[in-house]
Amino acid sequence: MSSLQLYDTTLRDGAQKEGISFSVVDKLNIAHKLDELGIPYIEGGWPGSNPKDEEFFQRALGLRFTHSQLVAFGSTRQAGIAAESDTNLQSLANAGVKVVTIFGKSSEPQITRVLETTPEENLNMIADSIRYLKAAGLTVFFDAEHFFDGFKINPGYSLRCLEVAAAAGASCLVLCDTNGGSLPEEIAAGVVAAKGKTTVPLGIHAHNDGELAVANTLAAVTAGVVQVQGTINGYGERCGNANLCSIIPNLKLKMGIDCITDEQLARLVEISHYVSEMANLSPEASLPYVGASAFSHKGGVHVSAMSKWSGSYQHIAPILVGNQPRVVVSELSGKRSIILKAKERGMDLSLKDREVKKLLNRIKLLESRGFQYENAEASFELLIRRAQPDYQPCFELIDFMVVVEERRRQPVEENLEGMLSEATVKVKVGDNVIHTAAAGNGPVSALDNALRKALLQFYPKLVVVKLIDYKVRILEESVGTESQVRVLIESSDGVEQWRTVGSSTNIIEASWLALADSLEYWLLKQKR
């Protein structure tokens, strides 16, 4: 192990994040994506701990990787038994992989208070386990759990654990900041001390409890480690693990370490979002490098500068990691923001300066009334198009009415039919005025059904559009039922997704505005 190598533990340590439960198929698919990213080592799980991981390794025997090796994870033998009698070690030896990682305690208090054994027996557990796995023909990495905490209390013992692991044949000694509370200078000091005791390559495994996992990892690399462990998107138990989606571009673009190719780096956003989807979690917009907000620009001064020089408020070219710059329009924006945002969405904004200023003032007025266009770009595009002098709407809203009534007077738990919602809608399409009514399982559903019933007569293809998400936010909780309400609707036609916004002191009206925008936006797209 002469040069720096990446080690991904998303499928094991990352899966310990609250809310994540990867299926076996999920894990197999993610492993393929990590191989495409060029990760040399993929930790697949702990085959001795649960049936799902055992099945994963059985099915993984048929996988073919271009860049990666699968790694099985486990622990040192139990105290007081022989290594060959330890079922965990037997599972590792029979997992069908060539590389295994085992963890062992390297902090004296952890040994005496958690394992409830002696420091000397712990050293025997480390040595016996590594020798057993080496005898089975495996490459063994040793995770020195709680190394940095143990090093602060009794550095001599923590370093002794590394020496014993090295003597037993470990190919890499991974220093773990298991509780995630160390500072970068403490990480560097621990790495330097470890290098003074062994010539075996060192690695780093950092947790993020102090919001320093990435910084600590980079400090360890600077101090001399050659294996970097982490997870995609920083997933992991408690506050997570070191985020490979930040570590990789920092290594390659800031430190000049070619840990993956340029082409692989350009797929970082794609793979970040893929893992989020497999985890059934929304991609975190504020993540560095891969988040949707990583290269977004909202303030008018920022947007103006960006139009002149892309490096004015961006530390790298977003395309390098597969991301793209984004102009966010809000009450903080200037005229240039409107123009650039229009270009970003493929519109040539041929308004005069005075008209652009008028449009900006309208956006600011609407945002003061609860509208927000940062995450509702379809509604923003409609604002721009409606400002064009030749704009012809696909339909016009005249009025609507919603009735909600209880169908039976009996306890709620016995009323299986629940509440009845019915909406009547009047819209104009060309010279035609259509008046329709429809029921739904709620007022918004009823409105949606009634509006579609009217429009489908003229736009039958609208049937493919579905409402897939509906969010309500109360903006002024202190005024109770008179609060301003913002509604964000996400829609899809099975190919693309878009978001629209509405705001009012009446939740039905706010929903109506967002819903109408959603349908009009799709209809306009079909005309282009």
274 and 302, same domain (yes or no)? no
115 and 157, same domain (yes or no)? yes
219 and 324, same domain (yes or no)? no
CB 498 within 8 A of CB 378: yes
pLDDT at 364: 72
Q: Is residue 54 situated within a structural domain?
A: yes
Sheet of strand 485-492, all strands in order from the earlier edge strand to the far edge: 466-474, 485-492, 497-504
Question: What is the value of pTM for the model shown?
Answer: 0.71
**Token pair recorded at residue 395:** 């339909």
271 phi, psi to nearest 5 deg: -75, -35
pLDDT at 88: 95
What is the span of the domain harbouring residue 222? 5-278
Q: Consecutive sets of 10 residues in the chain, 528 residues long: mean pLDDT of each?
A: 85 96 94 97 92 94 93 97 96 96 97 96 98 98 98 98 98 98 98 98 98 98 98 98 98 97 96 90 90 77 67 89 73 55 60 67 73 76 82 90 73 58 92 93 89 94 90 67 80 90 90 93 86
Count how many domains the chain has: 3
340 and 451, same domain (yes or no)? no
pLDDT at 444: 87
Residue at which a domain ends, from 368, 403, 432: 368
SS3 274: helix
CB 119 within 8 A of CB 108: yes
Of 159, 168, 93, which is closest to residue 125 (Cα–Cα)? Answer: 168
pLDDT at 470: 86
SS3 466: strand
Q: Is residue 379 situated within a structural domain?
A: no
Q: Is residue 28 situated within a structural domain?
A: yes
CB 395 within 8 A of CB 386: no
Spatial separation of the C-alpha atoms in residues 329 and 363, rounded to whole Å: 8
Q: Is residue 22 situated within a structural domain?
A: yes
CB 296 within 8 A of CB 340: no
pLDDT at 351: 53
Spatial separation of the C-alpha atoms in residues 408 and 246, rounded to whole Å: 57
CATH at 413? 3.30.160
Rg, the chain, Cα only: 29
Spatial separation of the C-alpha atoms in residues 457 and 359, rounded to whole Å: 33
Residue at which a domain ends, from 403, 431, 458: 458
Spatial separation of the C-alpha atoms in residues 309 and 446, rounded to whole Å: 49
CB 45 within 8 A of CB 59: no
137 and 255, same domain (yes or no)? yes
CB 33 within 8 A of CB 68: no
Distances in Å between the Cα of 300 and the Cα atoms of 305, 336, 373, 378, 381 are 9, 7, 15, 21, 19
Query: For the residues of 375-404, what is the DSSP string, one character each?
Result: T-HHHHHHHHHHTSTT---S-EEEEEEEEE
262 and 328, same domain (yes or no)? no
200 and 324, same domain (yes or no)? no
Beta strand 485-492 with 497-504 is: antiparallel
Spatial separation of the C-alpha atoms in residues 398 and 427, rounded to whole Å: 5
Q: Is residue 464 situated within a structural domain?
A: no
Q: Decide: residue 346, CB within 10 A, 0-12 exposed, 13-18 middle, 19+ buried.
A: exposed
pLDDT at 12: 97
23 and 141, same domain (yes or no)? yes
249 and 199, same domain (yes or no)? yes
37 and 176, same domain (yes or no)? yes
**Type of residue numbered 424:** T
44 phi, psi to nearest 5 deg: -85, -20
194 and 57, same domain (yes or no)? yes
Q: Is residue 24 situated within a structural domain?
A: yes
82 and 197, same domain (yes or no)? yes
pLDDT at 411: 56
pLDDT at 277: 84
Torsion angle, CA of 483/484/487/488, rounded to 10 degrees?
A: -120
